[in-house]
Amino acid sequence: MDEKRFEELWERAEAESYATKLSKEYPAWRTRRQRTMATAAIVLVMAGAALPMLSNPTQPTYDIACNRSGFADQYWVDVADQLLKEV
Amino acid sequence: MKKHIFIILALQLMLLVGCSSNDGKAGKGTLYKQYASQPALTVAELSNFKLNDSITVNVVMVQADSDESWQKLKDSLDIRGTEGSVSWLGNIDNPAIRTTWNGKPVTRVVASHPRHTVGFYRIDNDEQYDALIDYQLNNI
């Protein structure tokens, strides 16, 4: 082990021991912080999931049913559009 | 703790409402059900196809998967010829019957030979009838 590595390990040990001390002396603070972080994570995930719905409000939303899988909704929108243009 | 649970539940409810609001009428129409049950036909029902900023129509598209099924579909709708596209106003209950616009619900039928596809555009009122014509004229 060289000096640099020792310093790294020493700093880590100090940080970890300080965290252990804090968690023992202030357990309520630790659980509250975990809860806050968990809530923030859930909010972020849900916001991310909702983003596509909000990202382009002017984009028309279509309700499409198809008896076969493998067709993109946009395919049928295009077909409906092109049929009218071709006639 | 209760506060956090409440926030999570509220967010989930909002997300659920946002998703379920997309549940429309597609796939429930008589025409869709009639063709969707037939083999060798791919059928799609599109609710609220936009003709302009305020007018939409419901469309059912039937695509034949083979030459045989296309010929059968053509025969059932009395479609003649083999090239280009044909269009007519069809009776709402039986689109094969040609009719004229008299303010009552009809179906604008557009059949494309090269695509082996028929589109049924439901028209319920004057606004939709005019918008459909405008849509076609503006896109020539």
Question: What predicted TM-score, i.e. pTM, was given to this entire model?
Answer: 0.65
Total of domains in chain A: 1
Give tens-digit pLDDT for A19-73.
888 778 777 777 787 888 888 998 898 888 877 666 555 555 678 999 998 899 9
**Whole-angstrom Cα distance, residue A76 to residue B26?**
12
Res. B132: pLDDT tops 70:
yes
Mark yes or no for CB contact B61/A79 under 8 Å. yes
Residue A15: pLDDT band (50, 70, 90) is confident
Buried b (16+ CB within 10 A) or exposed e, B43-67: bbbbbbbbbeeebbbbbbbbbbeee
Q: Is A58 on the interface with B (CB under 8 A)?
A: no
CB contact under 8 A, B25 and A63: yes
Residue with tokens 């295009």: A78
Residues forming beta bridges with residue B91, ordered by sequence position:
B106
- The residue segments making up the domain with residue A36 are 3-86
Q: What is the mean pLDDT of residues B6-12?
A: 60
**Which residues of chain A lie closer than 8 angstroms to B42, CB-CB?**
66-68, 71
- Enumerate residues 120 to 139 of chain B having a beta carbon within 8 A of any beta carbon in chain A: 121, 132, 135-136, 139
ipTM value for the complex: 0.79
A86 CB neighbours in chain B (<8 A) are 84-85, 110, 112
pLDDT digits (tens, 9 = 90+) for B27-38: 678 899 999 988
C-alpha–C-alpha distance, residues B127 and B54, integer Å: 10
Return d(Cα B98, Cα B48) in angstroms, integer.
24
Contact B47 A62 (CB under 8 A): yes
What pLDDT, on the 0 to 100 scale, is given for residue B20? 42
